[in-house]
Structures are given as structure tokens and as C-alpha cells.
Structure 1
Amino acid sequence: MKLFIPYKAFINPKSMEYEVGKFAREQLEKLNVPIIEGRTVLIEGESSIENYVKAKKTIYLTVNKEKKLRHCSPSADYQFSLSSSCPGHCEYCYLQTTQGEKPCMKVFVNIDEILAVIQRHIDENLPNITYFECGSITDPIALEHLTGNLKRCVEFFAKSENGRLKVVTKYDHIDSFLDINHNKHTKFRFSINTKYIINKFEHNTASFEERIKAARKIAQAGYPLGFIIAPIMIYDNWQEDYKELLDKLKSELEGYEEKITFELIQHRFTNTAKELILKRFPKTELDLNEENRQLKWGPYGKFKHVYPRKKSDEIRDYIAQIINENFSNAKIEYFT
């Protein structure tokens, strides 16, 4: 898919004290993106929908002052951020409730300071290996062409004896990582789903075919590889569609004998998320019928609406069966 080009960029003057900030500005200028200097981001829409759409096309170059990283169960020990939000318009996104009415993309340019924080967490956990997730509140691949930050991270972790990086993406711009001496310390996971769900709900992201092709390239480059199938939804023909997905994946990865991990996540939503989704996507066809769900207490102090236990078990057992039939080298890390 085409690289993301913001329609407007705001730049915190502090960002120009960093090499990545200067580099990012140069890239924006080459792309003829209007630039506004200042410490605030101004987005003026005439409705909440317009605010959301404009914000998703706006970036803000700034710094990440986070010194203590948050835990990131079940995928890693900690999470860190190279940016916040992403260009994707996934209707179900769990970040709907955490980034406000105007979720512009903050792009952090102080990469050396971010890596220093990561190193401190590694040191505090010695002699254990510490795993880090950098895709919890963004998609780092989507903005990589503006900063090169993720490449720096891959190179950093390649030299780390006790640090490991986990990346997740819905984008296919991965060519800049193919020739890095990664030392197998960075694991790429591709968020995949049926063609129906990608086409229906995952707007401004790479297509089914583009993601599978990118995964094959990453596998050929020797990276540890995984897939997140999420959110798994029940709809007409869902079983046939997920079988098609995993059959296609098997075909594209034929000959790849390294371990492949799978993380399985069923569709869920909170009451707050439902309210925002209906405002931003009033014609959505997401199943947000609470009568078809049961409540599950979430780690951040909110109830989530998930599939009832019988349906949930059916999803888990069916997807796991197809994975195990198709991949002798598969490991299902969790289902939630």
C-alpha cells in the first residue's frame, strides 16, 4: 500500500534538538506537508467525525518523557512507545477510548532517551531476558518512513544480550528491515484477519494479500515470526473464512520451518468504546449487541463485552484446530 502522508504536521520546537526530529522534518518538507511550529496541536472540525478524521491525518513531532514503562501482559514484560495512534481507521480499535476525540499521531523523536529507559529496565531484570512490545498504542511500521526509529530499535536489540523486541503491524512497509543484522532478537508479528473483516472494518491498512506477502519477506530475512489473529468475530461463514485465511498463510509460508507463534483475540468492546464507535462510524456493521455477549472484567478497571463462554470456546477450539492441522511448527501463545 502507499506510504502514509499527513495533511498537516505540528512540531514542538524541542524536537529540533534531536537528530531524528531534524530528519523527520526533512522528510515532511520533501513530501510538501504543511508544518506548524508550536507546543499545541489545533484541529478544528465541525463535528466529532470530522475531528476524528482530521486527527488521523495529523502528526505532532515531540518527545517521549516516559521513564517507567508499563507492563504488557500477555504479549511482553513491558511496552514502550515510538508514537501514539496510527493512520488506520479500524472501527473496533480498543484505542478509541484512550486517545480522546482528536487522536492525532504523536511521533517521538528522542530515540536515544527511549532506548536508555529500555536499557535500565533490562538491567533491573538481570539475569533474565526482558521482552518489550512497541505496538501497543500505535503501529510503528506505518510511521517508520518519517523517522527510522524502529530500525534503530531493531539494531539496538540485536546487540542486547538480555533484551528482546516484539513488533506488531497491519502494514507492509518492511523492506528497510530486511538487510539488518537483527540477530533474531526482534520478532515481527502481523495482525491478520479474514478478507471480510479487513475490507469491512480495517480502513487505511494493508490488504490481506499485502500483509501475507510482507510476512513472507520477514520470514525469508530470518526474523522470528508470529501472527495475531484479532479480533476474531462470529458472522455468517466465519468458519470458512478463517480456514481460507490459514490455508493461504500455510501456502505462502511453505518451507518455513522455524517456530511460528499465534496470538488469538476474540472481539470485545466496552460501553465507552461502543458509544465512541457509533459516533465515529454511524453506519458501522460491527456486532455491538450487548445481549449476545457476557461481561468480563478487564485489566484497566472496565467491564468488556465478550462472547459467551460456549461461543468463546468454539472460536478457540476451531481456530486452534486449523492452526495445528496446517502448521507443525506452530505455538498458540494464548487465547483471550
Structure 2
Amino acid sequence: MINYVPNKAYIDPKCLKLERGKQIVEKLEKLNVPLEYTKKVEIKGDSPAEIYMNAKNTVLVTVNSQKKLAPCRPSADYQFSLTSSCPGNCEYCYLQTTQGEKPYIKIFANVEEILQVIDDYIEENKPNITTFECASITDPIGLEHLTGSLGECIEYFGGSDYGRLRLVTKFADVDSLLNLKHNKHTRFRFSINAKYVIQNFEHKTASFEERMEAVRKIAEAGYPIGFIVAPIMIFDNWQQQYNELFERLKGALGNYQEQISFELIQHRFTATAKELIQSRFKNTKLDMEEQNRQLKWGPYGKFKYVYKKEQSIDIKNYITKLINTNFNNSNIEYFT
């Protein structure tokens, strides 16, 4: 796939004092991206769909001044951000509602300060291992060609005795990360799914085939590997397509011998998300019929519509069987 290039970039003047900020600006200039030197972002459009797409094609290069990290269970102890929002346009994504009406992309240029905050948390928790997730509100691989920040983080954690990094991606541009000194301290997780889901709902992300090739490369580079299978959906021939997914995944991993983690998440939506998704994707094929679902109380104070109990059990049992059949070194961390 072609790497993401925004239609416009806003540059917070603070970033011009930072080496990383200067490097990002130089890359944007080489790509002929129009630049405006202000931190005030303006997103216009005549409809929710147009505003959304214009936002997704807009970048703000700024700083992350967060000093207190939020917990990130069950993925990790804490989460931090090198960027926010994502170049992908996945119709079902929870960021549809959490990042507001204008989800433009932020790139944080103060990587050294971010790593210092992380270091403080690691020091405070020694001699225990502290784990950090860097992809809760973004996809860092999708923006790494503009930032180079993830590579620096991977090498930082590679040299840390008590810190560990976790990330997840739907993108495949991993070549710049293959020869880093990661020391197996970064768990590289891929968001994978059946071809039907990728082709219909995960717009502007890596294809099924591209993800399989990226999995092969990361496995050969010796990273700890995991997979988020999400959102698991029921559709015509869903069982056959998920069977194909795990067979292909087994082939991509080759002789990979280390433990492989799996996180399983069934498709869900809230009433707010449904309304927003339908306003942005007029012809969506997402199944969001409430009568086909049951309500589940979410951890953030909202009801979610998930598959009915019998279907949910079928999904869990079938996907678990496929994993256990194809991988004798697997660990299913959770199903939700």
C-alpha cells in the first residue's frame, strides 16, 4: 500500500525548537504537503462525512505535555501516545466516538520528554516489570514514515531492564523496524481479520496479503508476536474465512517457536457510535441492528450492543478451536 500523506499539516511553533519536530517538517516539505505554522486547526466540510474525511487528511505536529499516564488494562499497565488518531478509516473503530467530530491526526514531536515520563514510571515500580501500550488511540506504524518515533521507543525499551512495550497495527510498513535492537522487549501485535472485514470496513489500511507479509518479516526479526482478532463478525461464510485466516497466519509465522498471544474481541457498537458511523459512511454494510444483539454494560459507563449469548459462545468456541488447532504455542489472553 502507499504510505499516508496528509493534504495539509499544521505546525505548532513549539515543535521548531525540537530536533524531531524539524525532521518531521522536512519530511512533510519533501512530500509537498502545504504547511501552516499555527496550532489552531480548522476543519471544514458541508456534511459529517466530508468533515470526517477532511480531518483524516489533516495533521497537527505538536507536543504531548501529559505527565500522568492512564492505565491500560488488560493490554498493559499504562498507555502513552506518540501520535493520536490514525490514517486508517475503519468504519467500526471506537475512535469514531472518542476523538470527536473532527478526528485530525496529531503527531507529537517531544519524544524525549515522553520517554522521560515513561522512565519515571519504570523507576517507581522497580524491581517489577512495567508494561506500556503505545497504540490505544492511534496506529504508530501508519505514521512511522513521517515520525521515526516508534523506532526510537523500541530501542529505548530494548535497553530497559524493567520496561516493556506493546503495540498493535493494521499497517505493514515495518522494514525500518526489522534491524533495531529490540532485545525482545517489544511485543509486536497485528490486528488481523477475515478478508470480508478488511475489504469492507478497514479502509486505507494494509490488505490481508500485506499483513501476512508483515507478520513474516516481524517473526523473522525475532520480535515477540501477538494478534488482536477484532472485531470478530458473523457474516455469510464467516467460519470458512476465519479458518483461512488462521491457516495463512500459520504459514506466515513459519517455524516461529515463541509464545504467541491472542486477544479476541467480538463486534460491538453503542447507540452513539451507530449514529455517527451512519452519518460518515452512508452505505455501510456494518450489521448494527439492535434486535440482533444484546446489551452489555461497558467499562466506561455506556451500554454496548454485542452478539447474543448463543452466538457469542459460538464465536468464542470456534475461534479458540482454530487457534489451538494451528498453534501449539498460543496463549489466548481474553475474549470479550
Could you say whether these structures have the same fold, taking a TM-score greater than 0.5 normalized by the shorter chain as the test? yes
Length, aligned pairs only: 336
Corresponding residue of 1:136: 136
Corresponding residue of 2:150: 150
Corresponding residue of 2:177: 177
Task: Map 1:23-42 to 2 at 5 A.
Answer: 23-42=23-42
Q: CA deviation at 1:254?
A: 2.1
Structure 2 distance, partners of 1:147, 1:253, is 28
Corresponding residue of 1:80: 80
Structure 2 distance, partners of 1:158, 1:89, is 31
Q: CA deviation at 1:98?
A: 1.0
SS at 2:84's partner residue? coil
**Structure 2: unaligned runs, 5 residues or longer:** none
Corresponding residue of 2:330: 330
Which amino acid in structure 1 is aligned with residue 148 of structure 2?
A: G
Deviations 1:69-107 (A, max 9, x none): 111111111111111101111000011111111100010
Q: Which runs of 4+ in 1 moved over 2 A?
A: none
Corresponding residue of 2:124: 124
Deviations 1:250-279 (A, max 9, x none): 122221111111110100011111110010
Instruction: Indicate whether 1:233 and 2:233 are aligned.
Output: yes
Corresponding residue of 1:263: 263
Corresponding residue of 1:186: 186
SS at 2:92's partner residue? coil
Corresponding residue of 1:102: 102
Which amino acid in structure 1 is aligned with residue 86 of structure 2?
A: C
Structure 1 distance, partners of 2:210, 2:104, is 25
Deviations 1:172-202 (A, max 9, x none): 0100111111110001000000011000000
The answer to whether the Cα contact below 8 Å between 2:216 and 2:254 also exists between their aligned partners in 1 is no
Which amino acid in structure 2 is aligned with residue 138 of structure 1?
A: T
SS at 1:141's partner residue? helix
Structure 1 distance, partners of 2:189, 2:170, is 9
Corresponding residue of 1:299: 299
Which amino acid in structure 2 is aligned with residue 223 of structure 1?
A: Y
Corresponding residue of 2:43: 43
The answer to whether the Cα contact below 8 Å between 2:39 and 2:60 also exists between their aligned partners in 1 is no
Q: CA deviation at 1:127?
A: 1.5
Structure 2 distance, partners of 1:143, 1:55, is 15
Corresponding residue of 2:5: 5
Q: CA deviation at 1:224?
A: 0.3
Corresponding residue of 2:159: 159
SS at 1:107's partner residue? strand
Deviations 1:103-145 (A, max 9, x none): 0001000001100111111122222111110011000001111
Structure 1 distance, partners of 2:298, 2:65, is 27
Which amino acid in structure 2 is aligned with residue 104 of structure 1?
A: Y
Task: Map 1:32-71 to 2 at 5 A.
Answer: 32-71=32-71
Structure 2 distance, partners of 1:300, 1:12, is 32
- CA-atom RMSD in angstroms: 0.7
**Structure 1: unaligned runs, 5 residues or longer:** none
- What is the TM-score with the length of structure 2 in the denominator? 0.99
Which amino acid in structure 2 is aligned with residue 126 of structure 1?
A: K
Q: CA deviation at 1:248?
A: 0.8
SS at 1:151's partner residue? helix
Q: CA deviation at 1:29?
A: 0.4
SS at 2:83's partner residue? coil
